[in-house]
Amino acid sequence: MRSVVIDASGYDWEGNKPLDRPMEESVIYETHVRGFTQSPSSGVQHRGTFAGIVEKIPYLKDLGVTAVELLPVFDFDETDVLRVVDGKSLRNFWGYSTMGYLAPQSSHCVEPECSSHLREFRDVVKALHKAGIEVILDVVFNHTDEGNHLGPTYSFRGIDHRTYYFLVP
């Protein structure tokens, strides 16, 4: 299955609202969900996940962080081999080749096989907001997994190629 619509209207945001801090008062910490906590030295139980970020909130607060900018969190193909260096395949780590802009990356979840990605993403946003930390998402709409005109068709090209992509004759 390439995509599915999830009715998540039952999620309890517990009154969560945007913090609306003025930009000039912001201390922004840019990080990658997996890269921030994947090392055993991160000291978290759920390494490389949204839950791992929640575990690091005290660390972020100690630094004086008021906003976290998360590098791409949307669904991408992390099995894609970008290039081979010294005989070793380098796979997509950063997520700048989105397949679905409204679907959080399932491998950033504690339970990726259980379709918990939407709940786990919402949980990290809610926890950061409760700690007084805003969430900024790094979204690059012109970086998709479909690549150039020879690339595969996953979603955007299949929906409306001429509308989504700028085509040059």
pLDDT in tens, 119-163: 899 999 999 999 999 999 998 877 777 766 677 777 777 777 777
**Pair 138, 79: CB distance under 8 Å:** no
Phi, psi of 130 (to 5 degrees): -60, -30
Assigned domain for 10 exists: no
Q: Can you tell me the distance from the alpha carbon of 15 to that of 26, in angstroms, rounded to the nearest whole number?
A: 23
3: confidence class by pLDDT, cuts 50, 70, 90? low
Q: Can you tell me the distance from the alpha carbon of 13 to that of 10, in angstroms, rounded to the nearest whole number?
A: 9
> Across 2-11, 25-34, 79-88, 137-146, which has the greatest mean pLDDT?
25-34
Chain segment 47-57, per-residue pLDDT in tens: 999 999 999 99
Report the chain's C-alpha Rg in angstroms.
17
The tokens for 27 are 């201390």
User: Is pLDDT of 167 > 80?
Assistant: no
8: confidence class by pLDDT, cuts 50, 70, 90? low
Assigned domain for 113 exists: yes
How many domains is the chain built from?
1
**Pair 42, 33: CB distance under 8 Å:** no
**For residue 127, what are the domain limits?**
23-146
The tokens for 118 are 């939407």
For 78, how many CA atoms within 13 A lie in the half-sphere containing its CB? 12
Assigned domain for 11 exists: no
CA dihedral 50→55→60→63, nearest 10 degrees, is -150
Assigned domain for 9 exists: no
Looking up residue 90, the CATH number of its domain turns out to be 3.20.20.80
